[in-house]
Structure 1
């Protein structure tokens, strides 16, 4: 209690020499200490080289702490003294990422803060809250005059793209009525919001994006991959089936590496997806030699879907391909390998048996 009897000037001088954590501990020792030291603590924090109170309050959603820290900062000269947190994030970004609407409202009322502030990754408060799915915070930010509703980060990702990747349906719906938002934006790899929604398996978001008519279902990234080929690689039969039934989707598309959707599905080893593609009709006949998906397409190395599947031991995929009667089980790639050679080398005996049966059936057919 002797400490509390000292004049405020001396208490302030003593407090200056305490580290922030010690000042905070002193506040919690008693109500009397809090009444005497609280303002001093916040004022000195605001004047410190690395103020911490507002950063902590913004990150943890502490409205009262934020209010007191803002008051001390205002007394000490304004927003220029507010530091940044992890990844160079300002207090608006920290509050938005955490979904702390109450703190965010306090911050937005303070002059000098930039609602479009960017962190070290180029992401804004809207970008961060969109990815996290904080719908109320996103709505609040979109209502702020001067906010950029379609910010793009250092990797070319928009707020919509981030929301689509995370499957944040409520957030995506908020962007629907904003004409300036590009629903077909591309990141540095040429991938769109639809691409990321497909990859995440977010069917509702995919349906919503396609339904707007503002997303290109046939888009290709820098390597020529489409949403359909991405879904095939992910091994998502439901998504593949949905996209195959969508106008504008080309099941016969080929990547820059010469791989078809079927080949990608075979590499991924998903038998159900492979069978879906094998049952598909309407592929451009220029791209394939049969009506529907090209069965034995070769990539730049002339490695067929069958060889890929045999190499990886995907017995169900090999069986599905052989059952079509339209694959060349003896095809030789540029490395001199065949499906049989790959299966033998890797010890996939079930596939060896399948290929042996196919070869025997082929010989019998030719002998007749």
Structure 2
């Protein structure tokens, strides 16, 4: 009988390789612990030759998965692996791992990707770079509306029908980590970890990180031709409006597809006056 060989191209029913799985069915709800373990496991899988570029049927690479979950140590292992394309996008939505980290409020994973050289100005299908979409999520949070990853429902629907979905699915893993969040926060006060329990604070931290990157496009347009300043102004988010204006890079002459400019979107007189001061 011959010696069995390891298949490096083996995938499950939805195209996931072993590189995709770590962290989806954790034996502990402590995200920092899972992250350390996953970083070690992913390192071993890469060493024996598993391809970090293989995508599942929904177009997600392993890097997309860990950026979404907020496992920065694991993200770093993949991002620093020779030849990994940091700016690879899924064909349907055009999102990079950096964009997924941003819109899921994973500031540490986002910083890891920025330091590795990820492009901040890649735009999703339909428009808008990572800064635009993070501002959008922070504006939605400010208004008390749903925020997060816009195509997450579709991603979940793409997995429905498989018996292991509820136990090993992305959303289930995120919920498990959130339950443990308050405990992990106390245990990791001095560590850079993505706990995921305070997305509001994380969105603002990510926005500040992105604005520090040379060349970031603060005028990237999303749906309807809107820019980040329009979204911030319409939400009444004074701090966010101020943060964008203070870059000195916001083009306040831009209008959306309906001909409305930033002043038109201003929810309050205070924000309107802030914009006028920068015109």
Aligned position for 1:83? 11
Q: Which runs of 5+ in 2 are unaligned?
A: 26-34, 139-202
Mapping 1:64-213, distance limit 5 Å? 75-79=3-7, 82-84=10-12, 87-95=14-22, 99=35, 100-111=38-49, 113-154=50-91, 155-179=93-117, 181-201=118-138, 202-213=203-214
Deviation at 1:148, TM superposition (A): 1.7
Residue-by-residue CA offset, 1:144-194 (whole Å, 9 max, x unaligned)? 222222221121111111111122221222223334x21111111111011
Between the two proteins, the alignment pairs up a number of residues equal to: 202
Mapping 1:309-328, distance limit 5 Å? none
Larger helix share, 1 or 2 = 1
Aligned position for 1:230? 231
TM-score normalised to structure 2 length: 0.64
Q: Is the 8 A contact 1:138 1:171 kept in 2?
A: yes
Aligned position for 1:217? 218
Distance of 2:59 and 2:21 partners within structure 1: 14
Deviation at 1:77, TM superposition (A): 3.5
Distance of 1:142 and 1:245 partners within structure 2: 31
Q: Is the 8 A contact 2:9 2:17 kept in 1?
A: no
TM-score normalised to structure 1 length: 0.50
Secondary structure of 1:116 counterpart = coil
Q: Is the 8 A contact 2:95 2:123 kept in 1?
A: yes
What root-mean-square deviation, in Å, do the aligned CA atoms of Structure 1 and Structure 2 show? 2.5
Q: Which runs of 5+ in 1 are unaligned?
A: 1-73, 284-291, 293-368
Mapping 1:289-300, distance limit 5 Å? none
Distance of 2:24 and 2:216 partners within structure 1: 27
> Cα gap change, 1:125/1:211 in structure 2, threshold over 3 Å: closer, same or farther?
same
Q: Which has the higher contact order (CA 8 A, sep 6+)?
A: 2
Residue-by-residue CA offset, 1:29-64 (whole Å, 9 max, x unaligned)? xxxxxxxxxxxxxxxxxxxxxxxxxxxxxxxxxxxx
